Structure 1
Amino acid sequence: MKPQLRQPTASRQAEIVATMVHLSAARNPTEITTGDIAQAIGVTQGALFRHYPSKEAIRLAVVDWIEARLMGELTTARAAAADPRVALAAMFRAHVRFTCDHPGVPRLVFAELQEPETSPVRQRVRALMQRYRQTLAAVLAQARADGLIRGDVDCAAAAGLFLGAIQGLVIQQLLGGAPGAAEQQAEGVLQLYLTGLGEAS
């Protein structure tokens, strides 16, 4: 293994996180060791631990990365939309595109949700999902207030259905679908979702 020049901490940490996400696209994240990450980067485990003291610390950093990137994409999509209903569609497409661009992310999330309740990483993932649901519920509530969807829509339930639809597409992809299959099927699923929300009468 050819040694690499020492990088600034922030740069190396970003590389470690990106490597974990990349490796998770093809492997069960729980089976990826710090040795695997170090080897993929081209450093020793000792060098890796200078930036993160444990695999759990790396996993927490990965969740932080997922939250920053995914919520950033959703915020951008929402801000560019003409109204809340259009925002829902834009956010749906943005999330599906994000999972297609980073196939390791859903594997990481699903793996962490199988951890014990007391796991700090699982708690962080659950907090991220709660933040996401709250964001969706707020957009749905605004769409309902603006008369863009039916007045009897349960916003919390509709937010859960939004996430469930995306998870269904992702699971099909993980079970052996063709590359990009989730993105190809997403539009049909999205239109069914929007039809279910209806329009104010």
Structure 2
Amino acid sequence: MTQRAKHLPSDERRAEAVEAVVELAASANPEEITTSAIAARMKLTQGALFRHFPTKDAIWQGVMEWVSERLLARIDRLAGAESDPLAALKAMFLGHVDFIAEHPGVPRMMVGQLQNTGETPAKRMARTLVENYANRLRRILSAARAEGVLPPDLDIDAAAALFLGMIQGLVMQHLIHGDSARMRADAPRVFAIYRAGLVAGATAVEGRT
């Protein structure tokens, strides 16, 4: 290890620990990732690791913060680049799938945290991520409805839940088959059906007027 690596600033070392967990979770059960494995990945002692994260729960909270910040920043950037709300939804959908393909350990960690029967900072962070994501979907869907792109009686909450459910379904198949290329190939076709359903609803409303 170089002299520079031994003396990284605390923030950089914390980020390195989080990235080590994300990498380990890509090929290991997140519940079985130990602090010794994390420290070994970083080429540190456990004592050095605990100087940056006092507990294992603190490490998992840091991981969930990392996921939340990067995923939400990605979908905000992609959606913000589109003027059409349906194009923004598609960009979010495909961008989210790409994020999972790039970080296959993320869904394993999310599932593990949300299945935890106890209340932990990491579980709260995971739940907040889902809520913040859903709020973004509701804003875009509401904008599309207000512009007349989608029907005025569209159930915004149900449409947002379906969007998230489609991603969760693709992710589950990815976890079963371990095939990110298949997930990426399926994503545009799945979204096309979702979009067609939304637009068909708008056409049906227009036909009744």
- Give the shorter-chain TM-score range: over 0.9
* TM-score, normalization by structure 1: 0.95
Matched residues in 2 for 1:44 and 1:105: separation?
25
Moved more, 149-158 or 66-75: 149-158
Matched residue SS, 2:89: helix
The superposition leaves residues 127-164 of structure 1 with CA deviations (integer Å, 9 ceiling, x where unpaired) of 11111111101110100111112222111111010010
Matched residues in 2 for 1:100 and 1:179: separation?
5
How is 1:161-200 mapped onto 2 (pairs within 5 angstroms)?
161-198=162-199, 200=202
> Equivalent residue for 1:62?
63
Matched residues in 1 for 2:153 and 2:98: separation?
30
> Structure 1 stretches of 5 or more lacking a match?
none
Matched residue SS, 1:192: helix
> In 2 relative to 1, CA 179–130 (structure 1 residues): closer, same or farther, beyond 3 Å?
closer
- What is the one-letter code of the residue matched to 1:140? L
> Equivalent residue for 1:139?
140
Equivalenced residue count is 201
Matched residues in 2 for 1:177 and 1:41: separation?
26
How is 1:6-155 mapped onto 2 (pairs within 5 angstroms)?
6-155=7-156
Matched residues in 2 for 1:197 and 1:179: separation?
27
Q: Is the 8 A contact 2:57 2:120 kept in 1?
A: no
Matched residues in 2 for 1:37 and 1:43: separation?
9
Larger Rg, first or second structure (1 or 2): 2
* TM-score, normalization by structure 2: 0.92
Matched residue SS, 1:198: helix
The superposition leaves residues 157-197 of structure 1 with CA deviations (integer Å, 9 ceiling, x where unpaired) of 11010010001001101002423211111011000110111
Matched residues in 2 for 1:186 and 1:179: separation?
11
- What is the one-letter code of the residue matched to 2:10? T
Matched residue SS, 1:175: helix
Aligned-CA RMSD value: 1.6
Matched residue SS, 2:187: helix
Matched residues in 2 for 1:125 and 1:101: separation?
19
Matched residue SS, 1:56: helix
Deviation at 1:2, TM superposition (A): 9.7
The superposition leaves residues 67-103 of structure 1 with CA deviations (integer Å, 9 ceiling, x where unpaired) of 1100000110111002111111111011011111111
- The structure where helix makes up a greater share of residues is 2
- Which structure 1 residue ranges, 4+ long, deviate > 3 Å from structure 2? 1-4
- What is the one-letter code of the residue matched to 1:142? A
- What is the one-letter code of the residue matched to 1:78? A
Percent identity between the two aligned chains: 42
Matched residues in 2 for 1:2 and 1:171: separation?
40
Deviation at 1:119, TM superposition (A): 2.1
- What is the one-letter code of the residue matched to 1:20? V
Deviation at 1:115, TM superposition (A): 0.8
> Structure 2 stretches of 5 or more lacking a match?
none
